[in-house]
Structures are given as C-alpha cells and as structure tokens.
Chain A
Amino acid sequence: MTERDALMRKIQEFAFAAYEWNLYLDTHPNDASAIEQFKKMSEACKHYTKEYEKKYGPITAEGVEDDECWSWVDEPWPWQN
C-alpha cells in the first residue's frame, strides 16, 4: 500500500468510526460517553484529512490549497484505480 493510500485508509477508518457513533447517537441521544467518542473520532478524521490535503490534494473543494491551479479537478477521482 502506498503512503497516500495508507493515509486515506486512516481517514476512512476514523470517518467511519465517527459516523457509527453518529448513527448510534440518533437513537441514543443522551449517551454522553458516545458523544465523547464521536468527538474523538471526528477530531482524528479532521486531523488526518488536513494532512492528506496538504500532501496530496483536496478532499472537499474548500480544501484546495493551491492559489494558482484549481487542484479539485486533479485525478484520481475516488472510483479510479
């Protein structure tokens, strides 16, 4: 696995963990420890997303760092392997 793929994998893992807590909280909205877990996971996801965008390009359009070239259009798109 390339370094890029490994970092993306980390983002996918933390995003997934955060989202699982999100769904759990939709049916258990008063579980404070779950809210804490959700926040932990989404913070980690944000952290690695920032690192990824700096190194490899944007994950959201707001993540475009380059002022000269609109890197949002760069390949690969997620379905390309």
Chain B
Amino acid sequence: MWSYQKKLQYPVNIKNANPKLASFVVAQYGGPDGEMSASMRYLAQRFAMPDGPSSALLTDIGTEELAHLEIVGSVVRQLMKNASTAEIENSPAGAYFINHGKGVYAANSNGSPFNAFSFASTGDPIADLNEDLAAEQKARATYDNILRVSDDPDVNDVMKYLRQREIVHYQRFGEMLDHVQNKACERKPMFQGVTL
C-alpha cells in the first residue's frame, strides 16, 4: 500500500503563467514516456520480478515516479492557473482548455489521451528491465525537448531535476539487469515460467 506525504519531492514555484508551455509539459504527465506511464509500468512489472532486490527496485522507482507525476501536474496547473482566457485561446493550449479547463488531464502534447499500451509488461524480467532502460532514455529525451523550447527558469529548474532522475534510474536499472542475468546464469533452469 502507499501513504501520502503532503509535500513535493522537489519544490515547484512557477511565477509566470504560460499556457503554451503547459501544453508541452503535459506530455510528461500523460504522454507515452511520461511519469504516469513510468510509474504504472514499473509497479505492474514488479509482480513478475524474480527476487528481493529486483522487486524492491521496481517498487521504489515506481513509487518515485508517482512523486514525479505529482511534480509535473503541479507545473501544468501553475502554468495554467493565472493565464487569461485570451492568452489560452491564442496558444496551443486552446483546444485542451475546451475539455479540461485549467485542470490537469493525462494527455500527450498532441492532446491524445493516455494509452495503457505504454505500460509494456511482459512477465519476463530481462525483457522488462531492457524496456525500462529504454523508457528512462525516452523520458530523458522528452525532458531535453521541453528544455529546448522553454525559456522559463522556474520550469527549467524542475525539468532539469526530473531529467537527472531519469539518468539515475537508468544506472540502477542497468545494475539490476546485470544482477538478474548473473543470477540466471548461476542456476538452472532459468526463468521463463520456471521459478528462479
């Protein structure tokens, strides 16, 4: 289970409304390489992990991704909250506004709703950990793209933090893949339906 802590993992204090930027950042809320996708992917994959350390890592990173989802939602909300209707109407957030107002909705930057295909859980620990390495790089690349188009230092500070976390997760997933593969070599039969 989980218990909620009434704090953000990293502070978010956006001073200037910017609906256009909100419509870009929302990609990391509900897009294929965003935080919702990441948290649900790891928290689903962990059920099929072969041992204690791999179950722990997927649980812990999956939980951290939930904290990141909250951070990204906070950025989107703060960028939208004080925007005028005219400002929103004349920005790429105009279409988003008609259905979702200044609320937070899980969509990608094109407005397509969140898609569970991005969870990618195979039940095979080696396949899943390789998926996770790619997922962290895709999330890192998306943060890079946001940083390329954003000139708001308050937003960029948060994006840089989240980008850095993808790199740390990539490192840990790499170590875990190594661990699981070594373990598989020590014992026979291997997994694939057989208990490791």
Residues of A within 8 A of B (CB): 5, 8-9, 11-12, 15-16, 19-20, 22-24, 26-29, 58-61, 72, 77-79, 81
From A19, which residue of chain B is reached at the shortest CB distance?
B64
- The answer to whether B8 and A12 have CB atoms under 8 Å apart is yes
- The answer to whether A8 and B176 have CB atoms under 8 Å apart is no
- The answer to whether A60 and B4 have CB atoms under 8 Å apart is yes
Chain B residue numbers with a CB within 8 Å of A59 are: 5-7
Among the 9-residue stretches B23-31, B52-60, B135-143, the one with 4 or more Cβ atoms under 8 Å from chain A is B52-60
Excluding A23-B169, A26-B176, A27-B179, 12 further A-B contacts by CB distance (< 8 Å) are A12-B7, A19-B60, A19-B64, A23-B60, A23-B61, A26-B56, A27-B172, A28-B175, A60-B5, A78-B70, A81-B12, A81-B78
- The answer to whether B179 and A78 have CB atoms under 8 Å apart is no
- The answer to whether A27 and B53 have CB atoms under 8 Å apart is yes
- The answer to whether A23 and B168 have CB atoms under 8 Å apart is yes
- The answer to whether A78 and B7 have CB atoms under 8 Å apart is yes
1/0 contact trace for B68-79 toward A, CB 8 Å?
A: 001001100110
Chain A residue numbers with a CB within 8 Å of B66 are: none
Least distance between A49 CB and chain B CB atoms (Å): 9
1/0 contact trace for B150-189 toward A, CB 8 Å?
A: 0000000000000000001100100110010000000000
- The answer to whether A9 and B11 have CB atoms under 8 Å apart is yes
- The answer to whether A8 and B7 have CB atoms under 8 Å apart is yes
Least distance between A60 CB and chain B CB atoms (Å): 6
From A11, which residue of chain B is reached at the shortest CB distance?
B7
CA–CA, A25 and B179, complex, Å: 13
Chain A residue numbers with a CB within 8 Å of B70 are: 78-79
Chain A residue numbers with a CB within 8 Å of B5 are: 59-60
